[in-house]
Amino acid sequence: MKITICLLMGLILVAMMQPATSQEESKATVALLVDVDMPPSPSQDQEYSAEDNLHKMYAEIKNRDMTATLLLNQDVLASRIRLLLAQYTVLSNFEFAISGKHTNDQLSSMSLSEQEELIERSIELGKAARVCGMSEVEVLGFMPSSFDQNQDTYKVLDNLGIQYDAGFQAGLIYEPGHKDDLWPYQVEGHQFYALPISTVEFSGELVPLYDRQMNQSGVSSTDWQDTLKSKLEKSIADGEPMVVLLSTSTSGTGDYFDALKSFLNYARSREVTFVNARDLISLATNDSLTLTDRRPTECPGCSEEEGIGVSISRVMPEPTNLTEEGELNETMEKEAVI
C-alpha cells in the first residue's frame, strides 16, 4: 500500500513539473530592426548626432554578442555615416536592409516606375557601403517608410529580388488570412516574405513594438522597458519570435537608450537568441537556424602577419563646442577611416 501511494505521489509530482520544464525549455528568438533615421537634408550637427546614436546602439548590441538589422535610406547612405557602416560590414554580422530616399517617403503616391527607380538606387547605395577587398554587402530586405506601400511596391520587390518586406504589423497591417501570424510568411502571388513587427496590448489598444511611436504617444522609458520585458516573457512561453523596431533618434539617446540597455541585459539573462531579419526568414522557412557570418576570414592584399586587424575609428571635425568648464563634450579620434 505504501509503495502504491509513493508511486502515485511520484507520478503527480512529475505531472506537476512537466509544464514548468517545457516552458523553461521554450526559447524566444528576437530580431532587432534598427531604423537609422535623420531628417531630410540634415545639417552637419544632425549627421553627427545620427551617427553617434547609431554607434552607441551598435556597440551595446555587439558587445553582448548579439546582432541586428540596420534599416537604411538614401539620406543615410549618402552621408558620412556610410563610412561607419562600411566598417560594420567587416567587424560584425549586422545586416543591411534598405528603405526609400527620406524618412517620410510616401511610396503609395508614386508610380511603379518611380518606386522601382527609388528602391533600386537604395539597393545600389546599400551594396556600396563596404570596404573594397574585405567585405561584400548583400541587400535582401526592405521596409517602407511609415509602413506606406501598395501593390506596385510588391511588384518592384519581386523585380529587384528582395527577400522580405518588414512593412507589416502583427494583427494590424497584414495580408488576407494572416492577421494572427507572428512568424514571417510568403505574400500570396509574390516571391518575398512579409516580416511582421510584433505588437502588444497597451492601454487597451493593439500597438506595434516600435519605440518612436511609443515615445511620441507619451509612453515613458520605464513603461517601454517593462513592455519589452513582458513581451519577451510571452514570446518565451509561446515559442514565438519577437520583432522590435527601434529608431536611432529614440533608442540611441536619453532614457530610451537606458531602457534598451536594460532590455538587452534582461534578454541575455534569459538566454534568448538574437538574429537579424534575414536569419529569421531562414528560421521560419527551414525550421532551423544557421546564423549568417559575413565577417571576412582573410584580407586580400594584407600580409599573413597583418591579418584583418581593423578597428572602428570615427572621423570627427575640429571641435567648436565647449562645455561650461571649457572642455570638449566628447573626445573622438580624428584618424582616417580604415
CB atoms near residue 198 (< 10 Å): 24
In DSSP notation, 9-29 reads HHHHHHHHHHHHHHHHH---E
3 state SS of 79? coil
pLDDT for res 323: 38
Q: Write down the pLDDT at residue 313.
A: 63
Q: State the average pLDDT over residues 296-307.
A: 40
- pLDDT digits over 104-128, tens only? 899 999 999 999 999 999 999 999 9
Residue 110: CB atoms within 10 Å:
19
Task: Tell me which of 49-58, 204-213, 310-319 is least confident.
Answer: 310-319
Q: Provide Rg for the chain, Cα atoms.
A: 22
pLDDT at residue number 322: 35
Sequence spans of domains, the chain = 27-286
Residue carrying C-alpha cell 545600389 = 124
Assigned CATH for 27-286: 3.20.20.370
Given the DSSP bridges, would you call strands 273-275 and 29-35 parallel, antiparallel or unpaired? parallel
- What tens digit of pLDDT does each residue of 141-153 get? 999 999 999 999 9
- Contact criterion met (CB below 8 Å) for 59 and 88: no
pTM confidence score: 0.82
> Which band of pLDDT confidence, cut at 50, 70 and 90, is reported for residue 31?
very high
Q: What is the mean pLDDT of residues 61-78?
A: 96
Average pLDDT over every residue of 306-313? 49
> Which of 55-59, 225-229, 269-273, 326-330 shows the lowest per-residue confidence on average (mean pLDDT)?
326-330
Q: Is the pLDDT of residue 1 over 70?
A: no
42: its cell numbers: 540634415
Q: In which band, very low, low, confident or very high, does the pLDDT at 132 lie, cut at 50, 70 and 90?
A: confident
State the burial class of residue 97 (Cβ atoms within 10 Å of its Cβ: 0-12, 13-18, 19+).
Answer: buried
Given a cut of 60, whether residue 6 has pLDDT beyond it is no
Rounded Cα distance between 117 and 113, Å, is 6
Of the two residues 11 and 336, the one the predictor is more confident about is 11
Dihedral sign computed on CA atoms, order 86, 271, 199, 293: positive
Res. 337: pLDDT tops 60: no
- The tens digit of pLDDT for each residue in 37-49 reads 988 888 899 999 9
Region 73-89: mean pLDDT is 94
